[in-house]
Every structure is written in structure tokens, then in C-alpha cells.
Amino acid sequence: MILRIVKDEGPITGEQIAERLSLTRATLRPDLAILTMSGYLDARPRVGYFYSGKTGSQLLGEHFRKLMVRDYKSVPAVCQEETSVYDAICTMFLEDVGTLFVVKEGGILTGVISRKDLLKSSMGSQDLQNIPVGVVMSRMPNIVSCHLDESLLDAAAKLIRNQVDSLPVVKEREESDHFEVVGRISKTTITRVFVEMGLGKSV
């Protein structure tokens, strides 16, 4: 009812809305605060309330764009190019992840190895202890990554567009073309945020 009144009569003061509803201004205060904070109403001092005209999904989109990679990234699971395919499979089980980021000294990203990459190399009856990850991984510069200051929405769009399960979060180093791995954003990260938002938890 508040939204309808403001839509029809705005700008309108809190006092006037309270009058229309036969309530006191004090009773209405928390409702007006919620509607303003969630973006349905705009409030201007000494003028009153305006209807923002934004739909629920527009407001949700605005909220989503404010979530940043730096606040949601998880710890990356890594291995080296020299690591054997056998050991990489063990690491995946131990770390409970589906993708390992391949790094050299200083945590510099050189590649990514996924479940399917490992399955592929396991199909021939080769000695998995003697195949290095470097032979089967996807390699830089063809790795899709994201930055700490990127929005979670942009990272999610990259996951979908590139049909991959996870992105390394990287920090650019002084030396050009060197990216240090500082985190991980996976489809699970996005799903967790989606569920928390749906359950009304603050994310």
C-alpha cells in the first residue's frame, strides 16, 4: 500500500503517507526505511518519497553487480608442471576440487588442469606416474582468469561464456605477462552466493 500511495502521489512526505494509512509516522518509520534501503523508494530531504520505478530484478541486478571477486574467492588448489598426472589426481581428491591451477615459483600461473584433462590422459594404459601435468594441461596465455576488483557477475559470465568450471583469481606482477594466483572462483562459489541470497542471508 505504501508503494501504491507513493507511486500515485509522490513526492509525498512520511507524514502524509501515515495520514493516508491512518497510522502514526513512528509506526511507519521501519517500513519506509526498508523500502528505501532496498531501492524501491527514493527519499529526498524536505521533499519526500519518490517511487524509484525499479523492478525487483533490476534491484537484484544492481545488488549482484556490487558483489566483488575479492570478497568471495576461495583458496586455490595448485600443482606444478612437473607434477605427475597420478599425483594431480590424488591432489584433486585430497583438496576436493575439480580443477588445479598449475604454477611455477612465486605462484605464477602457467596453466590449468581439469578432471577431463586427467581422464583423457588416463584412457591410454600409460604410466600415470610418468606423465607430467605440463603435457596435458591448458596453457597460458589461453587461460581465462579474473581479478580481485572484478564483479562476481563478470566472473560468472566468463565461466558460462568459456564453458569452464573455475577461474583463477590473479594479480598482475611487475614483469609483464606474469600473473600470480591468489584465489579461485568456481561454479560452486556462484551457486553458494545464489543460495544464500535466495535464503535471505546477507551476501
Shortest Cβ 160–ligand ADP spacing (Å): 11
Shortest Cβ 120–ligand ADP spacing (Å): 8
Helical axes 85-95 vs 115-123, angle rounded to 10°: 140
Let me know if 8 is exposed, middle or buried by CB neighbors in 10 A (0-12, 13-18, 19+). exposed
Burial pattern 147-158, b for ≥16 Cβ within 10 A else e, equals: beebebbebbeb
117 binds ligand ADP (CB under 6 A): yes
Closer by beta carbon to ligand ADP, 163 or else 176? 163
Among 98, 107, 132, 134, binds ligand ADP (CB under 6 A): 98
Among 6, 79, 112, 131, binds ligand ADP (CB under 6 A): 112
- Residue number closest to ligand ADP, CB atom: 116
Q: Read off the DSSP letter of residue 40.
A: S
143 binds ligand ADP (CB under 6 A): yes
What is the residue whose three cell numbers read 526498508? 34
110 binds ligand ADP (CB under 6 A): no
- In whole angstroms, give the CA distance from residue 27 to residue 35: 14
Q: Compose the 48-87 pattern: x for residues touching ligand ADP by CB under 6 A, - for all others.
A: ----------------------------------------
- Find the part of the chain contacting ligand ADP (CB under 6 A) among 34-42, 49-57, 81-89, 142-150: 142-150
- Find the part of the chain contacting ligand ADP (CB under 6 A) among 4-12, 38-46, 124-132, 164-172: 164-172
Radius of gyration of the CA atoms of the chain, in A: 25
- In whole angstroms, give the CA distance from residue 73 to residue 185: 5
Nearest to 88 by CA among 138, 56, 129, 40: 129
Positions in the binding site for ligand ADP (CB under 6 A): 98-99, 112-117, 138, 142-144, 163-167
